[in-house]
Amino acid sequence: MSCRQRRYDAAGLTAGELERTRRELAASLALTRPGSPARIPILAQLTAIDAELAHRASQQPHNRRPLLRP
């Protein structure tokens, strides 16, 4: 797999790191121009983080606070 096709792996980050990284990526996305190629990796990383947070939330017992915020 080439560097251009490398997947973003969010599984190795803590919940706090995921949330902080998501906020930073969202801010970066807000600053990019519509149609900019820079949006593609940012959106891919946001998708990976959202998927990882959803996966972790689904693995938690129902009596614990979920990682995702409404």
Residues 24 and 34 sit within 8 Å (Cβ to Cβ): no
pLDDT of res. 1: 42
Render pLDDT for 28-63 as a digit per residue (tens, 0 to 9): 999 999 999 999 999 999 999 999 999 989 988 765
Structure tokens at 46: 């946001």
Name the one residue in this structure whose structure tokens are 């593609």. Answer: 40
Sequence-distant (≥ 6) Cβ neighbours of residue 7 within 8 angstroms:
1, 44, 48
Structure tokens at 63: 């009596």
The verdict on pTM exceeding 0.85 is no
Report d(CA 34, CA 43) in Å as an integer.
12
